[in-house]
Copies of this chain bind each other. A is one copy, B any other.
Amino acid sequence: MEKRAKGRTLMSYAPDIKVVDCTLRDGGLVNDFFFTDEFVRALYRANIKAGVDYMEFGYKASKEMFDVNKFGKWKFCDDKDIRAVVGDNKTDMKIGVMADVGRCDFRKDILNKKDSPVDLVRVATYINTIPSAIEMIEDCTKKGYETTVNIMAISKANETDLDAALDLLGQSSVGTIYLVDSYGSLYPEQARRLADKYLEVAAKYNKKVGIHAHNNQQLAFANTIEAVGDGVDWLDATYSEMGRGAGNCAMELLLGFLKNPKYNIYPVLQFIEEHMTKLREDGITWGYDLQYLMTGLLNQHPRTAIQFTGDNRKDYSEFYKEILAQE
């Protein structure tokens, strides 16, 4: 058995691993966060049974910037809405929310931890807004939260900028720095190389590293388990890989792979059977398809592919010519 980072092998398990369910948050980008209360309650119960470590409920989006009538409540994640599902959350699973730099009134909308059911604030930033991200991180740390940071769209960033960003984040109070493949453009070999870079900074500053993958080239799961082998600990996944565009790493694939006996695939299969299948039948569309392969291959934002999907187009070769012309 080949030895990997931290002595990890396929037969062993790593007690440091944290599985984060992002179904409501990344999946919410598909259906504008209009999940039924029944769905959310059942997902909460399934996650607990499955041994999931963190459940991300959605975004803390600014109500000044976004119309609360145009989105489901999980775009805003009011504490009272989370409490209606989790009560005092007397479980081993922690509750997370995502806060986008520049789209969140964090000083007002994120209360002190002692008054909130939320445990973890996940700050999402582009590489050019790292100082603002750090301001949010420090605010949340002071309020008593665990924090993670997602640096998005790194496949378009230059490596010098990325090194500088990682070093700044290393010096902040953030707990975990996420490697994010926003465009689903990374091959496992590249994911491995980037993971090494993140892990080096993490070791220097005593941080953890996470991975958030997209499935444009059917590599979300492969990149995630490649990262596990390298020593990445925080793993994002969604039920039936529900997420923007091509979706994410499937929870069912990930829990099947992980050997930690605390994880259990069966409640995930049950939830998919009872709830995810229905979403698809209702016409909610996500997941791997040719248009996402193409934007991933060309390292482009998936917005054109999402539009292509929304327009019910099937003229894949025409679409390929269109997005090539944007290069």
Chain A contact residues, CB within 8 Å of chain B: 1-2, 4, 10, 187-190, 192-193, 215, 217-222, 225-226, 229, 250, 252-253, 256-257, 265-266, 269-270, 272-273, 277, 290, 293-294, 297, 314-317, 320
A266, B320: Cβ atoms closer than 8 Å: yes
Nearest CB in chain B to that of A273: its residue = B316
Knowing A221-B219, A256-B293, the reply to whether A192 touches B2 (Cβ < 8 A) is yes
B187, A188: Cβ atoms closer than 8 Å: no
Complex Cα spacing A320 to B187, Å: 31
B222, A218: Cβ atoms closer than 8 Å: yes
Point out the residue from B215, B220, B270, B277 that lies within 8 Å of A314, measured CB to CB: B277
Residues of chain B within 8 A of A218, CB atoms compared: 215, 218, 220-222, 250, 253
Point out the residue from B193, B266, B277 that lies within 8 Å of A2, measured CB to CB: B193
Minimum CB–CB distance from A315 to chain B (whole Å) comes to 6
Apart from A221-B222, A256-B293, list 12 A-B contacts with CB within 8 A. Answer: A1-B193, A2-B189, A10-B189, A189-B225, A217-B257, A218-B220, A218-B250, A269-B294, A269-B320, A273-B315, A273-B316, A277-B314
Residues of chain B within 8 A of A252, CB atoms compared: 290, 293
Complex Cα spacing A229 to B219, Å: 16
Residues of chain B within 8 A of A219, CB atoms compared: 221-222
Point out the residue from B187, B215, B253, B294 that lies within 8 Å of A293, measured CB to CB: B253
